[in-house]
Amino acid sequence: MKKHLALLLIFLACVVAEAQEKVEVEVSEKEMSEGIQTAFTVFIPESSAKSVTKEWEKFINERSIFEFATKGTTQTFEKAFMGISNIFSDDKKVYSKRSLKIEERAGNELIAFNVVHEDISNLYLDVIAKISAVDSGVYVNSFIKYADSVFISEANTSVDNLNTIKEYIRQFGVETYKIVVAEQVESEEKELKKQEDILKDSKRAIKQLDKSIGRYDTEIDQHKYDTKVLTRELEGIEERLQMAKGALRNTKKKSEEYYLIKEKVKEVENERKKNLNSLKSNKNKISKNQSAIKDAENQIIANEKIQAIQSEVIKKKELRVEEYKTKYSNIK
């Protein structure tokens, strides 16, 4: 049992390790504008040359290599820089602090001058970054040299100091990749909100449609009631019209009474016509409201389908957001 548990723990550890978005720095010889030099290479997945360049300029301005060394290592590091630099120069230079500036070079190279933390040392270095974009991301090859153009390499720098530089470059890779993934998280969260808004709009639409159906039903009931009233009124009008026409037939033509009754017949006929028009209008209104109810019901069905689809889309988007958040937290 213990053996099985141990194997399970090993398996889970492997899964977790594999899930980590590990940022590594490779030290090797690379070609750059000043020949073949030692490069500290970091790969930033899913990034663009433009965004990496922006973050490199920001990072190099805000962070110092010395931040990644212990106090003791920093002192050793400074002495090593001073000693090695002076070995390659007849003039024992005194390094003065210059303002940090960044220049662009041909071949996608950027050079930052005076990369040093003023609270730790007056010594400065020049850091050259060669940025190369590929389909899957961006490679940043960093070359570091002393004031007298001697490049740092494994031959002239201790393992501890090389590791300090590697950690410096690696941290740039970690922070930049985190920015890339953070933007992915933000983009996915915006898309998630967009899909949630579609779902909310659909739910609101159904509520409004339900209210509309209720209003249409009320109007139909009113029109039906009005139709009954008009129908009863029409029966009375028809009865009065028949009586008036009968009286007209029994009255001597061209007499004064005849003209009065004839005028009455005309008046009742107009009343009948008005009543029939009202009945027709009510019938049309009922038909129109019934069609509106049918349309609203169809829209409700359509929105219910939208909600079913959106619920699935949102679930997938939520998982996507969590995947990116997990990816972000696993960048090491």
Could you state, in order of their start, the residue ranges of all structural domains in the chain?
22-157, 187-329
pLDDT band at 71 (very low <50, low <70, confident <90, very high): very low
CA atoms within 13 A on the CB side of 14: 6
* CA–CA separation, 196 and 316 (whole Å): 12
Give the residue-averaged pLDDT of 254-283: 93
Q: What is the pLDDT of residue 123?
A: 60
At CA 45, angle to CA 63 and CA 326, rounded to 5?
90
- The interaxial angle of helices 159-249 and 256-329, nearest 10 deg, is 170
How does pLDDT run across 204-237, given as a tens digit for each residue?
Answer: 999 999 999 999 999 999 999 999 999 999 999 9
Architecture of domain 187-329: Orthogonal Bundle (1.10)
Q: What is the mean pLDDT of the chain?
A: 83
The residues, any chain, with a CB within 8 Å of residue 164's CB and separated by 6 or more, are 65, 68, 69, 73, 77
- For 3-135, strand residue ranges (E) read 25-32, 35-45, 102-105, 109-112, 126-134
How are strands ordered across the β-sheet holding 126-134? 25-32, 35-45, 137-145, 126-134, 109-112, 102-105
pLDDT band at 117 (very low <50, low <70, confident <90, very high): very low
CA 220 to each of CA 114, 158, 235: distance values in angstroms, whole numbers, following the listed order: 84, 92, 22
Is 163 in contact with 68 (CB distance < 8 Å)? no
Which amino acid makes up residue 158? S
* CA–CA separation, 187 and 180 (whole Å): 11
pLDDT band at 108 (very low <50, low <70, confident <90, very high): confident
Say whether pLDDT at 66 is over 80: no
Is 275 in contact with 283 (CB distance < 8 Å)? no
Is 158 in contact with 2 (CB distance < 8 Å)? no
Contacts made by residues 11-20, CB under 8 angstroms, sequence distance 24+: 19/326, 19/330, 20/330, 20/331, 20/332
Is 323 in contact with 188 (CB distance < 8 Å)? no
Give the residue-averaged pLDDT of 307-313: 96
Is 41 in contact with 30 (CB distance < 8 Å)? yes
Share of the chain above pLDDT 90, in %: 61
* CA–CA separation, 328 and 332 (whole Å): 9
Q: What is the pLDDT of residue 148?
A: 72
Measured in degrees and rounded to the nearest 5, phi and psi for residue 12 equal: -65, -40
The residues, any chain, with a CB within 8 Å of residue 209's CB and separated by 6 or more, are 296, 297, 299, 300, 303
> Three-state SS for 1?
coil
Report residue 234 as tokens: 């029409």
